[in-house]
Structure 1
Amino acid sequence: MANWALITVISLVLAPVLRLAVIVLGGRRNRKKVVGFFHPYTNDGGGGERVLWCAVKAIQDERPDLNCVIYTGDHDATPQTLNARAFDRFGVKLLHHPQVVHLYKRKWIEETTYPRFTMIGQSFGSIYLSWEALSKFTPLYYLDTSGYAFTYPVARIFGCKVMCYTHYPTISLDMLSRVHSRASMYNNDALIAKSALLSWCKVIYYTIFSWMYGFVGSCSHLAMVNSSWTQSHIEKLWGISSRTRRVYPPCDTSGLQVLPLERAMDPPKIISVAQFRPEKAHPLQLEALAVAIKKLEPGLPRPKLQLVGSCRNEADEKRLQNLKDLAKKLNVENDVEFHKNVMYSDLVRLLGGAVAGIHTMIDEHFGICIVEYMAAGAIPIANRSAGPKMDIVLPQDGKQTGFLAQDVQEYASAIIEIVKMSSSERLEMAAAARRRASLFSEQRFYDDFKAAVGPILFHK
C-alpha cells in the first residue's frame, strides 16, 4: 500500500512540479540535438529490442550527425556492450556505439512492485522514471520504443519532440470487452471474473484508465504502430489518426530465407520463440503437445517442442521453472527442450531445423517470431486473433501459409496435421509462407520508419 500511495501522490503533483522545475533549471534551453530512446529493458531479447536497434541503425544511416542515447535500467550496459548485443542477438550492425544513460529508478515500473493495480502503477511509475531520465540528459528528440505512454507529457514539458513506436496498447477495447463478459485471463484474475461486483469495479477502473491513456498518448507528435490491430486500437484511444503511421516491425527475412526448406522429420521439431512472460501462454503449448502425442497414429514420428526465450527478471525465471515442472507433470519432459537467452546464431540454427513454429498469445499485436518462422521455412501455428490473423498468416498466391488456432484441441490438431503431411505438401506450404514473410523484411522497416520520422527528424 505504501508504494501505491506514493505513486498516487507522484501522479497528482509531479506534472506541475516538473513544469516549474524545467522552467527554473532551463531544461528547454539545454536540450541536446540528440535522439533519446526510452527503453528501460535493453536485455529483454524480444521483438521490441530488435525494433530499438533497427531504429537506431536507421537514424545513424540517415543522419550520421545525430547521436543516439539509450535510457536503460540495465546497469551493466555500456556503449560497447549494447553495440555488441545488437549484432550478436539480432544481427544488427550499428555504424557507431550509442551513448548510454543509466536509470536507477526502474523498480517503479517493475510488475512486482504493484501486486494490485499493476497496469496503472507501472504507468505512473514510468512518469517518475522518465523524470530521472530527462533530468540526467534532455534530448531534442524523445523516442519511446517500450510503450510507456505516460512519459510523453513529461517529455513535452521538457521541450522534446515526442515520437513513439507502439507494439501494443497498454489497454485495449478487447480487454474492456473481456472484463465486461467476465472472461478469465492472465490480466483478469479468476476471482474477479467470477464476481459481478468486482467485474463492475474493474470495468470502471479500465474505463478511467483508458481515458487517461488516451490523453497521454495524444501528446505524441508521431505514433508509429506495428500492425493493423494496434493501429485500430491506438487511433480509437488516442484520437490522433493524422499522426499515426503503421510501420511493420523488422523481421530477419533475408537472413532466414537462405535456409533450406528440407527438414529432418525424425523427430519433427516444433519451435516456440517468445519471452517467458504470462501473456505468451506457454503452458498451452505444452498441453497441446501432450494431447497431440496421445492422438498420434501408430507409425507417425513423435514431435519435439523447443521453447526458446529470454528471462528479464526473477519472475520470468520462476515461470520458466514452472514450465519445466509442467512438462514433467504432462509426461512430455523428454519431448521438450528449453533454450534460454540464446545467441542469434543459435536461434537461426534452431529455426533452420524446425518443421513448424508455434505461438499461443491471444491478441499478439504483430508477431515478429511468426514471420521469422515463415521466413525460415517453419510452418506457423498461431493464435486466431490480432496481428497473426489480420496481417501475417494469410494466403499467399492462393496458397495456405499456416494454421490459426484458439484452444488446446485446435493447436494439437494443427501439430498432428503438420506431422502427417507428405514432404511435397509441407514444402508447398512452407514455400508459400516464405513468400508471405518477405512482405515484412528488415529493409521495409527501414524504409517505412525513415518515411514516418522524416518530417520531424530528418529535416535540417
Structure 2
Amino acid sequence: SSSVLCVLLLRLLWSLVVPCAYLSLLLTLVLLLLLLGLRVWLHGRRKARRARDGGPAVAFFHPYCNAGGGGERVLWCSLRFYLLAPDTPGDSFVVYTGDQGVTGEQILEGARQRFNITLPRPVTFIFLRHQVLVEAASYPHFTLLGQSAGSMFLGWEALTAFVPDLYVDSMGYAFTLPIFRYLGGCRVASYVHYPTVSTDMLSVVRERNPRFNNSDFISRNPVLSAMKVVYYCCFALLYGLAGSCSDVIMVNSTWTLGHILALWRSPGRTSVVYPPCDVRAFLDVPKCHSVVSVGQFRPEKDHQLQIRAFRKLLDRKGDGPGGRESLRLVLIGGCRNQEDEDRVLMLRGLCQELGVADRVDFKLNIPFEELKRELVDATIGLHTMWNEHFGIGVVECMAAGTIVLAHKSGGPKLDIVVPHEGRQTGFLADSEDSYAAAMESILALSPWARLEIRRSARDSVSRFSDQEFEACFLSATESLMSKLER
C-alpha cells in the first residue's frame, strides 16, 4: 500500500510539473517576443530621429545635473570637449535630467557660475518626471536595491523619451546600462565616481561597525548583520552583471578602479580617467591666510568630524596670541535638497553645543569666484570623508595653495596627497585627535616650510587638469565615437 501511495504521489507531482513547465516556456516566449518588439520599436524611433536630425546623438544620463558637485563638473567638461571636437559638428547632444523647476538655460548658467564652464553650442535637456524613484529618502529600507530598481524605471523613461546612438551614464546608475544596450540597441559607456557597493561596505557590516549606511540596530544584532552581508553579496553580483554591459568603463581613481575590477570583471574595457579640476584658475592667484572645507553637505562627508576636530584644535591653542580668536573654520558646500539643508541646521546646532559657533562659517551654493577667494585666503584645506572615491575639493585646495589635510583612505591617500618628486604635498589623518594634531602641526610650521609644501602640491596637480581629463576621456571613448554612423 505504501508503494502504491508513492506511485500516486509521483503521478500527481508529474501531472503538476508538466503544465508548470509548459506555462513557464510559454511565458518566457511571450516575454522574449515582447522584448524583441520593444527593441524593434525603439530602433524605428532612432532611425526616424536620425533621418530628422541628420546625424548621430550622444546622451548623458545625469538626473542631478544641477547639483553643483564634482560629478557635475565631469559632465560639463565632457560635453564641452565633445562640442569642441572637430569631428562632431553634426552630432546632437542630450542630457537626461530629473531636476525640476529650472530651465535648460538656468542649468547652463549654474554650470558657468559654479565651475567656470561655458558650452560652445546648445545641448538638449530631457526633463524626467520620476526622479523620486532614485531618491534615497524613497527607500528607508533596502535603499541600494530600491534606488537601483528605480533607476531602471527612470532609465526606461529616458530611453522612450529619446533614443540615442551612444549612451553615457555619467552618474553611476549601472542598472540603466543593460536597458540602453539590449533594448535600445545603443553603444554604452560609463563614468564611475564610486561603486554602488564595495568590499569596504561589506567589511563594515561584517565587523558590525555603525556608520551612516549601517544603522546601530543592525550593527548591534549579529543575525541582522549576517542577513545584510548576504543582501550586499547578492546585490554585488547583480551590480557586476549590470556594469559589465558597458562597452567602455572609466573610473575616477585608483581606489575606484580596484573595486570596479573586482565587481565588473572587465579589465580590458576599464581605465582610470581622473576627474577634471580647474587648477589654472587657482594657480594664478596670490596666497594669504584659516581652515576651509569644500564638499557637498552629505552624511558621508562627515562634517561632524571636522567640527569636533576643530573644537579640539581651539582647546589646544587656548586664548592667547595666535589662539582661538585667530582661527576660523569655513564650511563650503552645495545643498541639493531639503534633506541637505536640514543637515546644515543640525551642524549649526552642533557648533552651538560645542561652543564654536562664533568661529565656524557656513557658505552654501556659492559661485565659483567666491570659492576661489575662500580657498586663496585659507591656510588649511580640510577633508574628512572615509574612502572618498577621488576628491576634487582636495585638488582645488592644493591648486589654490592651501595645505591639505585629508582623510587617510580612498582617493586622497592613493592618488592625490602622495609625494611629488620625493617632496611632501600634504597631510593625512583619520580621527578627531589626529586631525587636531595635524592642524596644530601645520600652523606651527615656519612660513618657508609651508611654502615648500604648497609648491610641491601645486606642481603635482597638473595631472588632474581639464586638459588631462579631455585627453584621457578621448582615449577611452575614441573607439565608440569612431563607430557612430555619420
**Shorter-chain TM-score range:** over 0.9
- For residues 299-318 of structure 1, what are the structure 2 equivalents within 5 Å? 299-302=321-324, 303-318=327-342
Deviations 1:207-242 (A, max 9, x none): 000000000000111110000110111011001110
- Structure-2 residue corresponding to 1:356: 380
Residues 91 and 183 (structure 1 numbering): CA distance in 2 closer, same or farther, change over 3 Å? same
Q: Is the 8 A contact 2:174 2:239 kept in 1?
A: yes
- Structure-1 residue corresponding to 2:67: 44
- Structure-2 residue corresponding to 1:258: 284
**2:360 is equivalent to residue 336 of structure 1:** yes
- Structure-1 residue corresponding to 2:469: 445
Residues 30 and 363 (structure 1 numbering): CA distance in 2 closer, same or farther, change over 3 Å? farther
Distance in 2 between residues matched to 1:24 and 1:398, nearest whole Å = 59
How far the C-alpha of 1:325 sits from its partner, in A, is 0.6
- Structure-1 residue corresponding to 2:194: 168
How far the C-alpha of 1:23 sits from its partner, in A, is 2.7
Q: Is the 8 A contact 2:126 2:161 kept in 1?
A: yes
**2:91 is equivalent to residue 61 of structure 1:** no
Q: Is the 8 A contact 2:66 2:107 kept in 1?
A: no
Q: Is the 8 A contact 2:46 2:164 kept in 1?
A: no
Q: Report the more deviating stretch, 229-238 or 392-401.
A: 392-401
Distance in 1 between residues matched to 2:250 and 2:471, nearest whole Å = 13
**2:397 is equivalent to residue 373 of structure 1:** yes
- Structure-1 residue corresponding to 2:147: 122
Q: Percent identity?
A: 44
- Structure-2 residue corresponding to 1:75: 100
Q: Secondary structure at the match of 2:165?
A: strand
TM-score (ref. length: structure 2): 0.88
Q: Report the more deviating stretch, 282-291 or 189-198.
A: 189-198
Name the larger-Rg structure: 2
Distance in 1 between residues matched to 2:370 and 2:470, nearest whole Å = 25
How far the C-alpha of 1:78 sits from its partner, in A, is 3.0
Deviations 1:135-189 (A, max 9, x none): 0111111001110000001111111111111000000111111111111111111
- Structure-1 residue corresponding to 2:459: 435
- For residues 57-456 of structure 1, what are the structure 2 equivalents within 5 Å? 57-62=80-85, 63-156=88-181, 157-261=183-287, 263-264=288-289, 269-296=290-317, 298-302=320-324, 303-456=327-480
Residues 104 and 121 (structure 1 numbering): CA distance in 2 closer, same or farther, change over 3 Å? same
Distance in 2 between residues matched to 1:339 and 1:291, nearest whole Å = 22
Distance in 2 between residues matched to 1:242 and 1:296, nearest whole Å = 53
- Structure-2 residue corresponding to 1:21: 38
Higher helix share: 2
Q: Is the 8 A contact 1:361 1:383 kept in 2?
A: yes
Residues 57 and 458 (structure 1 numbering): CA distance in 2 closer, same or farther, change over 3 Å? farther
What is the aligned length?
443
Residues 65 and 341 (structure 1 numbering): CA distance in 2 closer, same or farther, change over 3 Å? same
Q: Secondary structure at the match of 1:139?
A: coil
Q: Is the 8 A contact 1:27 1:159 kept in 2?
A: no
How far the C-alpha of 1:67 sits from its partner, in A, is 1.7
How far the C-alpha of 1:79 sits from its partner, in A, is 3.3
Deviations 1:302-325 (A, max 9, x none): 321110111111111110110111
Residues 444 and 16 (structure 1 numbering): CA distance in 2 closer, same or farther, change over 3 Å? farther
One-letter amino acid matched to 2:39:
V
Q: Secondary structure at the match of 1:142?
A: strand
How far the C-alpha of 1:295 sits from its partner, in A, is 0.9
Q: Is the 8 A contact 1:30 1:138 kept in 2?
A: no
Q: Secondary structure at the match of 1:234?
A: helix
Deviations 1:49-98 (A, max 9, x none): 00000000111111232221111111234332233222211011211121
Any unmatched runs of 5+ in structure 1? 1-12
Distance in 2 between residues matched to 1:374 and 1:17, nearest whole Å = 54
Distance in 2 between residues matched to 1:14 and 1:167, nearest whole Å = 34
How far the C-alpha of 1:407 sits from its partner, in A, is 0.7
Q: Secondary structure at the match of 2:440?
A: helix
Q: Is the 8 A contact 2:314 2:323 kept in 1?
A: no
Residues 372 and 14 (structure 1 numbering): CA distance in 2 closer, same or farther, change over 3 Å? farther
Q: Secondary structure at the match of 1:165?
A: strand
Q: Is the 8 A contact 1:79 1:97 kept in 2?
A: no
